[in-house]
Amino acid sequence: MSMITYQDFVEQTNVQDAVWSAINNWKGSDIYKTAVTADLYDRQQNQTIMEYVQKVYTLTGNAVENRVASNNRIASNFFRRLNTQRCTYSLGNGVTFNKPSVKDQFGTRLDTALIDAGYFALIHGLSFLFTSDRMYYFKATEFVPLFDEDTGAMRAGIRFWRLDNDKPMFAVLYMEDGYTKFSTKDTNNGMIMIEQRKPYIQHIIKSEADGEEVVGESNYSGLPVVPLWGSKLHQSTLVGMKGAIDSYDLIRSGFANDLTDCAQIYWILENYGGMTDDDLIKFRDRLVFNHIAEMDTSMGGKATPYTQEIPYQARSQYLELIKAGIYEDFGALDVHTIAAGATNDHIDAAYQPMDENADDFEAQIIECLQNLGKALGIDEEDAIPQFKRNRISNQLEQVQMLTQEAEWLDEQTILEKLPNVTVDEIEKILKRKDAEDMERMAMNPFANQEQAQEDETEQNEGVNDATNAG
């Protein structure tokens, strides 16, 4: 099924039909289908193991469900854990900008929306950021992007949702000149418009007499919805990872099934060929409940118990190999591979694969915020975010090194490099230190005089240096 582009959408004369068609088309796309499957793995409802049914083959070669064998279905949680690790590694401490005021221009709750959008960009391959006073995020399972055929830029998009399959669907069409609302309510097929196109920005004045009053409306300089890709591959992290997860789940579940099935004792009865099925069942039940049974051995009768041994060691080693392969291929950090008391050199080496993937992920975030910044009128350089990666370290060693360098660094740089100080705490600490200095100066008037003399001396020296240079 070919993707509906922005040009395809605007060429249709009936906007309601265009919205309905675009939604149905998107649901048939590979991105949407992969995102739906990724949501199952994210909720630890791994598709392959949950749908697995043990089968046996009849003499004619037909496969039928084995209703006797155990059918444990154990789903691993690799997918959610590893994607959470990659996302929080870059975004767990929020983002900052060279100009603090820039963060407010993106709208409130930027950090929380960005971490949610980043996570779904990883597992779905694509998510979306939308700003209007505050920052919002949309998932690939609820938003249809409409890309321009010529430039590849997203020119419009449709968000859609419904509470349940038997409930009406709602949709919002986002375009550069405003948004329009639609619904399937009160219609048997397709959608109807429930709210005309409205600009994104409302200019409001407040007064004690009239309260709030809308005095004007306007739009941003571009579409305030932008795509966020999880990597330069533009695909879900489930691609390539699914096979390894399924293999791990199947082996581990099969291991549990064998433990259950092989825990039973099997009895071989010799010279009792005349026993019927009912007699055999009675014999078994007596052993189960009484743990004793009579045997006539005068004619060669004999009962021999048997148990089965399962291949424990080989399966355990294979599971460890699969687990190690999943971590290595994903570029994640298995904390069990870092020895206690490891130096920062060893820790940095263990983080190298994560750093490489984080560079790719953060590059997508930078591009996304720059594109959104264009619509908000933010300069491209000012819209570049800064990340403080969330990593474990030998904090004592890091603080000792920082102490040795402190005489060449200012207070803000020292705080930024301290491993136990978050980005949001730095500004508050600096403000408290300034307040303490002001209070100390106010309590010591002689210190004020000394400081004034020092300032005057420095100023005079500067004038003399300038005169001599002239």
Claim to verify: residue 240 and residue 334 sit in the same structural domain: yes
Q: Give 250-268 as a DSSP string.
A: HHHHHHHHHHHHTTS-EEE
Q: Which of 219-228, 234-243, 383-392 has the lowest mean pLDDT?
A: 383-392
465 exposed, middle or buried (CB, 10 Å; 0-12, 13-18, 19+)? exposed
Nearest to 41 by CA among 85, 71, 77: 77
Claim to verify: residue 162 and residue 118 sit in the same structural domain: yes
Q: How confident is the model at residue 170 (pLDDT cuts 50, 70, 90)?
A: very high
- Final residue of a domain: which of 392, 416, 442? 392
Nearest to 267 by CA among 300, 306, 239, 216: 306
Claim to verify: residue 426 and residue 302 sit in the same structural domain: no
pLDDT above 90: percentage of residues in the chain: 48
Claim to verify: residue 186 and residue 228 sit in the same structural domain: yes
Neighbours of 177 (CB within 10 A): 12
Claim to verify: residue 68 and residue 182 sit in the same structural domain: yes
Q: How confident is the model at residue 151 (pLDDT cuts 50, 70, 90)?
A: very high
Question: For 300-326, what is each residue's pLDDT tens digit?
Answer: 677 777 666 667 788 888 899 999 999
Claim to verify: residue 296 and residue 352 sit in the same structural domain: no
Q: How confident is the model at residue 390 (pLDDT cuts 50, 70, 90)?
A: confident
Q: How many domains does the chain have?
A: 3
- Distance separating alpha carbons of residues 18 and 32, to the nearest angstrom: 19
pTM: 0.76
| pLDDT at residue 464 tops 70 | no
Claim to verify: residue 231 and residue 150 sit in the same structural domain: yes
CB 52 within 8 A of CB 224: no
The enclosing H or E element of 180 equals strand 178-183
- Six token digits for residue 147: 């890309």
281 lies in which domain range? Answer: 265-306
- Final residue of a domain: which of 352, 367, 392? 392
Claim to verify: residue 273 and residue 245 sit in the same structural domain: no
Claim to verify: residue 279 and residue 290 sit in the same structural domain: yes
Please give the torsion angle defined by the CA atoms of residues 9, 15, 21 and 26, in that order, rounded to the nearest 10 degrees: 60
pLDDT score for 185: 87
- Distance separating alpha carbons of residues 106 and 99, to the nearest angstrom: 12
- Final residue of a domain: which of 344, 375, 392? 392
- Distance separating alpha carbons of residues 323 and 261, to the nearest angstrom: 26
Query: Which phi and psi angles does 49 have, rounded to 5°?
Result: -70, -30
The enclosing H or E element of 33 equals helix 30-42
Claim to verify: residue 386 and residue 401 sit in the same structural domain: no
Claim to verify: residue 60 and residue 182 sit in the same structural domain: yes
Ordered strands of the 225-229 beta sheet:
134-139, 126-132, 225-229
Question: For 154-165, what is each residue's pLDDT tens digit?
Answer: 999 999 999 998
| pLDDT at residue 353 tops 80 | yes
Instruction: Please list the helix, strand and coil fractions of the chain in percent, rounded to the nearest 5, in that order.
Output: 50, 20, 35
| pLDDT at residue 94 tops 60 | yes
pLDDT top residue among 405 and 153: 153
Question: For 173-226, what is each residue's pLDDT tens digit?
Answer: 999 999 999 999 877 778 999 999 999 987 777 777 667 776 678 889 999 999
| pLDDT at residue 456 tops 80 | no
Claim to verify: residue 158 and residue 185 sit in the same structural domain: yes
